[in-house]
Amino acid sequence: MPSLPRRLFWLAFWVVGFAVGMTGLLLYFKYQSVFTGLQRDRILLVAREIDEIAERDLSLGQDFWSIDTLPEVIERRRTAESFLQAIDVAGPDGRIAYASDMSRMGSSLPPEWMPLVTTAAPLAAFSPSRDEAVVSSPIRNSFGQVAGYTVVRYGRALEHEAMARFSREIVFACGVSWAGFTALLFALLMAMRRQIEAVFRQAADAVDGKAAVPESLAQEIGRAEGQFAQAERFLAAAADGSPR
């Protein structure tokens, strides 16, 4: 069978390729999930700091629209992180009361954001575009009612750079693994093929009388002969009409 080695090679090639490819995809999405989760948690710390300051002032009886400490805190947090694009503090209706960009004060959050921002969950995270992500958290008054929302927008450039770098590394690692494990599996298959062919050659030589029957093969042949003899006796008894 001159084509058998070629078939074994392609078998090893595709089996290893599928395994390595699936592993690479799982690693890629796992890395992306971990990276975005860490970045989101970092942004959430900024949002929660603003929430705590606003909630503390609300508990002291201040009006949501006249919290004097928020603009300074928002500006300080905005300049502390280079990838932050904007920080907005909006009322329950989405109208912005405080913002890192003063020109946005009095305007409203995008209408398509409101169902996501006003969700009952303690955190809302979404990406309105490929290059921008949003994290928001509610601000509650002393009665536990929602008084507003802190909305932090940040760029995804760091995420894209990290994923591009990781993609190059994982592609190289998968390529090396694919080649190496394909060669290893092919070598194992070829070794198994040689062992099987050697066993068949010994069996053929034994049948032709060219070589002694190996002990292990002789035992198997003896058991097979015993089973054939038993079957013949059973058939003979059945033909006589007195099976035993």
Find out whether 158 and 72 touch, Cβ atoms under 8 Å: no
CA angle 142, 143, 149 (to 5 degrees): 70
Provide the residue count of the chain: 244
| Rounded distance between C-alpha atoms, residue 84 and residue 133, angstroms | 10
* Residues ≥6 apart with Cβ < 8 Å to 112: 128
| Domain at 33-155: CATH architecture | 2-Layer Sandwich (3.30)
pLDDT tens over the chain, length 244 residues = 458 888 989 999 999 999 999 999 999 999 999 999 888 888 888 889 899 999 998 888 888 888 888 888 888 888 877 788 899 999 999 999 999 888 888 899 999 999 989 887 788 888 988 899 999 999 998 888 899 999 999 989 989 999 999 999 999 999 999 999 999 999 999 999 888 888 777 777 666 666 666 666 667 667 777 888 888 888 787 777 654 4
- Residue 88, Cα to own-chain centre: how many angstroms? 33
Complete edge-to-edge strand list for the sheet that includes strand 146-155: 96-99, 84-90, 146-155, 132-140, 124-129
The pTM of this model reads 0.69
Structural domain spans, the chain: 33-155
Alpha helices in 94-156 (DSSP H): 114-117
> Residue 159's closest CA among 129, 137, 116, 117?
129
* Measured distance CA(122)–CA(56) in Å, rounded: 18
CA pair distance 139, 91, nearest whole angstrom: 9
Pick the closest to residue 58 from 120, 144, 119, 152 (CA basis). 144
